[in-house]
Amino acid sequence: MKVKLTLFLLLISLTLITQTACQGKSEGQNTGGTPSLTETEISTEMEDDSSAAKETATSDSTNGKVGADKEQSVIAEFETLLSAQDVKLMDVLSFLDENISYLSKINATNILLTLEDLQVKQRLALEEKFYPQEIIKVLQEASLAGKDYNDPNTFTDSAVAELVQETVDSGYKIDQAEGMYFPVINYSIYLPLTDFISDDIKEYFIIMDIESGKIFAKDAALMITWDDVVARALKTKEYLSKYQDSERFAEVEELYQRYLTISLLGLNNTPLFDYETNSMNQDAKSAYETLLSKKKSSEYFSILEGFMKVVKDNSYKLTDEVEQYRNQTLKK
């Protein structure tokens, strides 16, 4: 479920409530040889305690107000940055890096989700800048030469260098598939800020950083190992079980379904069962058996365990029975 900016602006307009606790001293009972306090002494001590408590309360209240004022100032400036017609993500990122520590956890969380929404929205417009053939040609030459096409210093062509610089500064990185180049969100930019946000969104950004760090497939072929497929399926399923009310539940569920499907089918150019022999991919078999030897408590584990039992019973070949099992599983 995407966080809507309008809802977010209503949420962050709420002011912080500062609670002040005053501590009073308790007097011990008089025993044997210790003289009792006179009423005057008791009264004087109580007045001193009262004065100290008032000073503490005043100090806490002042500090709380300063903190709340600073937070509202940060929020207001963030809104101003976002409302600018030519808003630059690089400016927003720099601002958050300097000011996120002043925000409450809920406001910091929603601000980062709003930033992610903005990145998703602006990515398509940025991608169009990579369409011209002269841009593609320069990027391809760099790629074929084994050079880093995410480094602006790689290019002598000023137009390409400026485009790459804009891409990187805006929190994206360049990827390629089927001869095309395009920006993807670089989720590693969020990781230094995750200590200030909720646990579920922190784990969400960690998951997305893994996804953007190594794209799972290109040209309908698997680009990660079968061990990676298993690990990503387990991690996303764990998230879904742990954070059922998360703002990013739907996004993680989509990832889980992706890796569950790959686990049972493979991809067009990396099939789980060979097209000619119908034999199971040996790397996948090894990865699955390694997982099943660890006895994890997970729905994904149970699915894979049942699947591998059927596959084993069919001599690790794709048969009607295996086909029926995986089709029924994916329809649930």
Residue range(s) defining the domain that contains residue 304:
214-332
Q: In the chain, how many domains are there? A: 1
pLDDT at residue 150 greater than cutoff 70 = yes
Handedness of CA 303, 304, 306, 311 (dihedral sign): positive
Entry pTM = 0.78
The owner of tokens 């300063």 is 66
The owner of tokens 């703002």 is 247
Tell me, yes or no, whether 233 lies in a domain. Answer: yes
pLDDT band at 6 (very low <50, low <70, confident <90, very high): very low
Tell me, yes or no, whether 263 lies in a domain. Answer: yes
Tell me, yes or no, whether 228 lies in a domain. Answer: yes
Residue from 150, 153, 201, 154 nearest 174 by CA: 150
pLDDT computed for residue 66 by the predictor? 56
Phi and psi of 12, rounded to 5°? -75, -5
Tell me, yes or no, whether 226 lies in a domain. Answer: yes
Say how many C-beta atoms besides its own lie within 10 A of residue 159's C-beta. 13
Residue from 242, 153, 146, 230 nearest 202 by CA: 242
Tell me, yes or no, whether 222 lies in a domain. Answer: yes
Tell me, yes or no, whether 167 lies in a domain. Answer: no
d(CA 266, CA 275): 11
pLDDT (average), residues 282-308: 95
Say how many C-beta atoms besides its own lie within 10 A of residue 261's C-beta. 15
For the chain, how many residues are written? 332
What three-state secondary structure class fits 270?
strand
* DSSP 8-state code for residue 272: S
pLDDT computed for residue 278 by the predictor? 98
- Residues 267 and 217: beta-carbon distance below 8 Å: yes
Alpha helices by DSSP H, listed for the chain, are 5-12, 39-83, 89-99, 105-128, 133-144, 158-169, 199-213, 226-242, 249-265, 282-292, 299-313, 320-331
pLDDT band at 32 (very low <50, low <70, confident <90, very high): very low
Share of the chain above pLDDT 70, in %: 80
d(CA 216, CA 223): 5
Share of the chain above pLDDT 90, in %: 70
Tell me, yes or no, whether 324 lies in a domain. Answer: yes
Residue from 227, 234, 235 nearest 209 by CA: 235
Tell me, yes or no, whether 110 lies in a domain. Answer: no
d(CA 186, CA 167): 10
Calculate the CA 78 to chain-centre distance.
Answer: 20
Q: Give per-residue pLDDT as tens, 205-237.
A: 999 999 999 999 999 999 999 999 999 999 999
pLDDT at residue 163 greater than cutoff 50 = yes
